Chains A and B, each alone.
Chain A
């Protein structure tokens, strides 16, 4: 589907272990546009991994045809799971945004979306479950190599898949003391990020508390705030606002400051 191929690359990052699986014929790839030369999938398969979001009539058709050939379907990555970056433009009116991108330098006012032997573009880019039944969701932008390793391992050994129970915050190594910062800071306003302290407590907005875990909190561990790429943790379980008191406090504190 439409995406950046990052999920493919993350899968390839399994490296030797993937090669071993292929060598021992525990796993056999029947169709992959980026790895194999087969021009279409024409036989039944156990599992269909789908990367990217659905953006054209062609995407939709391929997805429906291939999903019908698969016993199980897995949405790999945030685009396939939720729409991902590709779906952000939906809010601005996708067709309008795209039309603007096809202006020609010689006549900037003339706009034509190319159509010759090309698929029709959908008004909304969306997750794959709008068009096919999805059995597994593996979120992440892209899902970390370790996440995919677990997933592949579970599938190959027919253990089924394990759900996520943690938030990114639960997996983070930065220390939390419970103190609330006085104000929200942009990361550019800080000289050096304190490598010991929770980012939220330093005043940086980090989405870790509200994001599905499983990634090992790699971004906050590199002193970069979580951007929530793995999806909203409310999908997992009901989180009451009191579960994230710090963020709430920060918001109220800075509002108070403004009011003064």
Chain B
């Protein structure tokens, strides 16, 4: 009989999931399964019958952490259905929202979710309170940095979480002069606060080299939006860097045709794969995928290259990739603000029958929405592919690799809490968002 150790619930991640560490008859480690036990909430069905303009707000409720990414991508997809474009000023606001969302999500992960692993071996100390005792500066800096991200989201979106202003055709609220000035001054503060995080990230890297280089490492391909001279969270071209080094570019339409899904009986998260690539090659998305394809002029990126030469296959590199991205994120926000934002943020648009897809880089990777509407603009079909869904297989395989290394020569009965905690760290590197991950389905209206 197979015996299992369940690491349940996985803590310091978003949503409900567990690891099932399986052992054979003799008590020797066999494999790890990543099980999400939070069922889907049926959003794809909820959208069907809803007017297109309601979708961005409703979609944001899929995730409380990357809600702005859902706002923006849903509006973009509905606009494609109706063949309309938002005004330039609205595009700028939306990009700022994506960036401020990334700012809050990455800082939350680094200080409150990931860093506690590195300060103690005692489970009851591995949290924000423990970190506060050991390194108050990093807690204070990241709390303030997060607050800046959320404040900018509120200025643009009306609310910090589940923003309200994004509708097909633009953003309902233009920015006032004093609001732009406020963002400007907050960005200045943010740059100073970020110094602490950069320092800690690279110090972690130096003092845990073997962990970063090898633990939980897998070989995979990487998928991200084609990066520009800056951190591009929107683009209509994707880049797929295969595990063997080949790089393919593809238009976002290709993505929807190519993505297939595979149901496993042990998890509510389905495992997607690209038809052309096949089920065997793992594809990863998110900060590391973007960093691996980045061509930014960024000192942090050069530092990253020195220790973890790109393309890096290291799983823990995700943690450093987030910090490198943060610097680029602040730069890009500054650029947008410096370029000037006008007040023409919304146009009246006319709905029509059609279908369309939106694609953005959410903090955790590629987020894809596809809708079809009827001539009144009522949704008839909805598909959502979330970042963590695409990473689910990679998470499982990384945890498996980590367990294989950690549990080598150990029997079922000898596994300690320290062992399971170290395996759990690998999952955390991906910053999984399980509530999002259980969405991958095409729901059509039945006639």
Residues on A lying within 8 angstroms of B by beta carbon are 2-10, 12-13, 15-16, 19, 22-23, 28-29, 33-39, 55-56, 58, 84-86, 88-89, 92, 94, 97-98, 100-106, 112, 114-119, 121, 125, 141-142, 144-145, 186-193, 218-219, 221-224, 227, 229
Contacts and interface: CB of A to CB of B under 8 A. Distances in A.
B144 A193 contact: no
B140 interface: yes
A34 B143 contact: no
Contacts of B9: 33, 39
B252 to A, nearest CB: 19
B441 A100 contact: yes
B144 A15 contact: yes
Given A6-B63, A86-B41, A114-B264, 16 more contacts: A4-B62, A7-B64, A9-B161, A15-B146, A34-B13, A35-B12, A55-B41, A100-B441, A101-B440, A101-B441, A106-B262, A117-B266, A118-B266, A188-B348, A219-B159, A223-B165
A192 B64 contact: no
Contact of B11 (A19, A38, A118): A38
A9 B65 contact: yes
Most buried by B among A4, A22, A100, A142: A4
Nearest to A107: B263
A89 B40 CA distance: 10
A92 B42 CA distance: 9
A36 B127 CA distance: 5
B346 A121 contact: no
Interface of B: 4, 6, 8-9, 11-16, 20, 35, 37-46, 51-54, 57-58, 61-65, 67, 108, 112-113, 116, 123-124, 126-129, 132, 139-140, 143-144, 146-147, 150, 154, 157-162, 164-165, 167-169, 172-173, 260-268, 270, 346-349, 351, 377, 421, 433, 435, 440-441, 443
Contact of A12 (B11, B52, B112, B173): B112
A103 B139 CA distance: 44
A4 to B, nearest CB: 4
A25 to B, nearest CB: 9
Given A13-B150, A222-B159, A114 B42 contact: no
A141 B264 contact: no
A191 to B, nearest CB: 5
B42 A119 contact: no
A172 B175 CA distance: 19
A119 B261 CA distance: 22
B35 A38 contact: no
Contacts of A125: 41
A141 B61 contact: yes
Contact of A4 (B20, B63, B146, B164): B63
A219 B126 CA distance: 37
Nearest to A204: B172
B39 A121 contact: yes
Nearest to A77: B64
21 contacts: A2-B16, A3-B435, A4-B63, A4-B67, A7-B64, A13-B146, A16-B140, A19-B128, A29-B129, A37-B124, A55-B39, A58-B37, A89-B43, A97-B42, A114-B265, A142-B162, A187-B172, A221-B158, A222-B157, A222-B164, A227-B164
